[in-house]
Amino acid sequence: MVLGMLAITLAVSYALMRAQVQTSLLQNNSQTTVLARQAAEAGLMRAIRKMSIEGEWEGVGTTMTGNVDSQSSYSVIYTAGDAS
């Protein structure tokens, strides 16, 4: 009987620990998604601003990169639209 209770306790403890790890991983993934979106928006705003300032934009076919912080960066590639 004692061994049965010990086995049940270990199983429940393992299940709770696993759920806590998964929750932590999901939260980390959510934060990474937010940072990626912010980097993309920062790159888009900088690219549009650079296109609107006369003399700064090098034209179609160029690339611009930048860093938002120590972990996030962006890369903007100016390309022409399709033929249609």
CA dihedral sign of residues 11, 17, 19, 21: negative
Tokens of 13: 């403890």
Tokens of 14: 């393992």
Query: pLDDT truncated to tens, each residue of the chain (84 aa)?
Result: 999 999 999 999 999 999 999 999 999 999 999 989 999 999 999 998 888 887 778 888 889 898 888 888 899 998 888 776
8 Å CB contact between 39 and 68: yes
User: Backbone phi, then psi, for 61, in 5-degree steps?
Assistant: 90, 5
| Confidence (pLDDT) at 54 | 74
| Confidence (pLDDT) at 9 | 95
